[in-house]
Structure 1
Amino acid sequence: MDFEFKKNTLLGTYTVYCSMGHEAVAQWLESELGTEITNIDKHLDLLEQARISPFKEINLLGQGYSLSIYDNEVTIKANTVQDESDDWHDEELGSYSNETESVCGLDDFESLLVQWRDFIG
């Protein structure tokens, strides 16, 4: 997963851009974690727990997105997505579904959080 961070120095806001297919991760990072260092640290602790017990599922329900960690994979899913019917996999909705659900490896996700923490700190 490729990503890039930007800061608007006039407004003091931060933005995350993730590679195609990982747009939901960027949305989750901005909306659920934002620039709260302590919240980022809590999530890094969760990743450590996931490494210790990879087959114990960890689920966090956020305001707009949910995070699930299981078997060295992280899934970010918009809370508005109620089911996984065939409609979500329709070719015409492909780009929309990328914004509502993304999956990445635990190592990539950890790298994203660590670099985000460094960037905003």
Structure 2
Amino acid sequence: MDYEFRRNSLDGSVLALFSMDHEALGRWLSEELGEDKSKLVAVLQAIAELQAGELEQFQLVGRDFTLELDNEQAVVMANVLGFDQEHELQESMSLYDAESVSACGLEDFQLVLESWQAFLAES
């Protein structure tokens, strides 16, 4: 999983760019977490509690994306994917959701968050 963090020099906004299959992680970091350091600390604390066996699961529902953590992985999913389909798709059809769902190991996700935290501190 490759990623890059940038700050817009015009408006100061932050942007996380991730490699293919992990784009939703970048959008979650940029749009849901952003520069909210208290939310970042809360997610890092939840990871520590999961690793210590004090928590079994953690969920953070945002405006557009939901973060779900367990003791093995982190999953970021667009909230629109939770809708009930009124019409069944034909066998040969499927919904394109590659940019709406991303998953990675919990330790990898922790490293990403720590890198994000360092990026915010230096910029």
TM-score after normalising by structure 1: 0.84
TM-aligned CA distance change 1:14 to 1:70, over 3 Å? same
The answer for the alignment partner of 1:24 in structure 2 is: 24
The answer for the alignment partner of 1:34 in structure 2 is: 34
Answer whether contact 2:46 2:55 (CA < 8 A) is retained.
no
TM-aligned CA distance change 1:98 to 1:84, over 3 Å? farther
Answer whether contact 2:49 2:55 (CA < 8 A) is retained.
no
Where in structure 2 are there 5+ consecutive unaligned residues?
none
Classify the secondary structure of the residue corresponding to 2:10. Answer: coil
How far apart are the structure 2 equivalents of 1:58 and 1:50?
A: 8
Deviation string 1:62-105 (CA, Å, 9 cap, x unpaired) is 11111111231001111100269896xx7875xx4121111101
Greater Rg by CA: 2
TM-aligned CA distance change 1:57 to 1:115, over 3 Å? same
Answer whether contact 1:4 1:18 (CA < 8 A) is retained.
yes
The answer to whether residue 56 in structure 2 is matched with residue 56 in structure 1 is yes
The answer for the alignment partner of 1:12 in structure 2 is: 12
Count of matched residue positions in the alignment of Structure 1 and Structure 2: 117
Higher relative contact order, chain-length normalized (CA < 8 Å, sep 6+): 1
TM-score after normalising by structure 2: 0.83
How far apart are the structure 2 equivalents of 1:47 and 1:91?
A: 37
Classify the secondary structure of the residue corresponding to 2:98. Answer: helix
How far apart are the structure 2 equivalents of 1:54 and 1:18?
A: 30
Could you say which structure has the higher helix fraction? 1
How far apart are the structure 2 equivalents of 1:111 and 1:92?
A: 33
Give the fraction of aligned pairs with identical amino acids, expressed as a percent. Answer: 30
* 1:110-121 alignment runs, 5 A limit: 110-121=110-121
Classify the secondary structure of the residue corresponding to 2:44. Answer: helix
- 4+ residue stretches of structure 1 with deviation over 3 A? 83-87, 90-93
How far apart are the structure 1 equivalents of 2:23 and 2:84?
A: 18
1:4 partner letter? E
